[in-house]
A = this chain, B = another copy of it.
Amino acid sequence: MSFDMATAFRPGLPEPAVPWQDPPDFAFVGGNNDADSVPFGGLAEAAVNALKREGRALATYNLGGSPLGYLPLRRFVCDALGVRADTTVQPDEVLITSGSLQALDLVNQALLAPGDTVLIEQATYGGMVSRLQRLGVSYVGIELDEHGIDVAHLASVLDELAAAGRTPKYLYTIPTVQNPTGSVLPVERRLEVLALARRHGVPIFEDDCYADLVWDGTRPPTIRSLDDGGGQVIYCGSFSKSIAPALRVGYIVADQSVVLQLMALKSDAGTGALEQLTLAEFAPSHFDQHVERLIAALKRKCDRMVEAVGREFGAEVTVTPPKGGIYVWLTFPDGVDTDALAPAAAEAGIQFNPGSGWSADPAWGRRRLRLCFGDAEESSIDRGVAELARVYRESGQADQPGG
């Protein structure tokens, strides 16, 4: 008679994970990247050099330094944000995290309690939506257009909440290569968003994970830089998208007092030192060139996917070509339900992110879906999108069967 550990679990846990299955042929999900672009030779060389020079330091937690993270890596984050995003940062304003998902968890832990309200973008990162649900936090979606946040809508939501006596705990925004729409918020709107946040005393949580992957290589200044010491913005970024997602290295940038509060919540005794050492060795001399090549590879895949969607779905589906990144966002006609499409697609070996899970309002998202192309072979993009179009037509949901 064996003991049933489930009887000891606390109530309200998320569903257990399901045992791993290899992905299907057309796995257009997940923030994966282009395998041909992984700079593994350069990373190997960097790992060797760093280990030979500083390997003894592995004997102490955090390489014997600050739990904020390996100082040369924090310095690189500062330098890169300066050069690439016009943002002045000091190393003691940087907390290296175990991927940017840990950044989300730490910021949420510091700011959110059940019953709180936050603002998110109408379409946003599904992992944030599920986190908020699990935390018992309410969220209001801010409308987006092809450039990102609709400032007038943000203003009216803030006014409504203020009238009801509620101050949102933060505005979560992905201004540069918005996930999932791929827009880049122009600097004028960034200033307007910031002005509204200031007026209402609402922190901005700026998630810039994909910001290095803008096609034309230029990023607007971060909202954090526009705040110019105003204390309004907690910023996070990642090496997952620019180098490799299986490395788990991200970062939070915030005022030092905020960073020290978040550090007190970081209970993992530091982020993996080998990954930090390797990135700190690799990045200063290779990052820019690597990212330029990566962007070119991703842009080819993106074009291929946008083309395939146009070819296979015709005018029935809207896809605004993204400004960068690894995904496209498809909008179907009114009445289409992409949740209902998913099982038939799965049978045909296709995975996509139904829009309901990537939206503040699932009903709004239901006729939308996200397709990731980062790790897809170019020929699978063509075949997978063709298959998806076939599944869609055969689902009976299409306006123009056969069209």
Contact = CB atoms under 8 A, between A and B. Distances in A.
A207 B43 CA distance: 34
Interface stretch (A270-278, A284-292, A377-385): A270-278
Interface string A20-51: 10010000001111111110110110011001
Contacts of A64: 23
A231 B14 CA distance: 21
A388 interface: no
Highest count of chain B CB atoms <10 Å: which of A8, A65, A258: A8
A198 B2 CA distance: 9
B257 A5 contact: yes
Specify the main secondary structure of chain A where it touches its partner: loop
A32 B201 CA distance: 43
Interface in A148-202: 169-170, 198, 201
Contacts of A273: 244, 246-248
Interface string A115-132: 010000000000000010
B264 A14 contact: yes
- Contact count band on A: 35 or more
Contacts of A112: 10
Highest count of chain B CB atoms <10 Å: which of A5, A38, A52, A116: A5
A260 B9 CA distance: 13
Contacts of A98: 98, 248, 268, 271-272
Contacts of A35: 56-57, 59-60
Highest count of chain B CB atoms <10 Å: which of A34, A51, A257: A51
B261 A3 contact: no
Interface stretch (A99-107, A214-222, A317-325): A99-107
Given A44-B55, A51-B44, A203-B3, A261 B9 contact: yes
The count of identical subunits is 2
Contacts of A334: none
Nearest to A232: B3
A269 B3 contact: no
Contacts of A43: 51, 55, 58, 274
Contacts of A208: none
Contacts of A201: 3, 7
A356 interface: no
B20 A68 contact: yes
Contacts of A349: none
Highest count of chain B CB atoms <10 Å: which of A9, A10, A37, A269: A269
Nearest to A114: B10
A375 interface: yes
B278 A246 contact: no
A212 to B, nearest CB: 15
A229 interface: yes
A169 B48 contact: no
Contacts of A260: 16-19
Contact of A5 (B234, B246, B264): B234
A73 to B, nearest CB: 13
A305 interface: no
Given A5-B255, A44-B51, A272-B275, A60 B16 contact: no
A40 B16 contact: no
A101 B59 contact: no
Nearest to A134: B267
A9 B247 contact: no
B272 A198 contact: no
B56 A48 contact: no
Contact of A59 (B2, B33, B47, B265): B33
A64 to B, nearest CB: 8
7 contacts: A8-B111, A13-B264, A16-B263, A30-B60, A47-B48, A47-B278, A246-B274
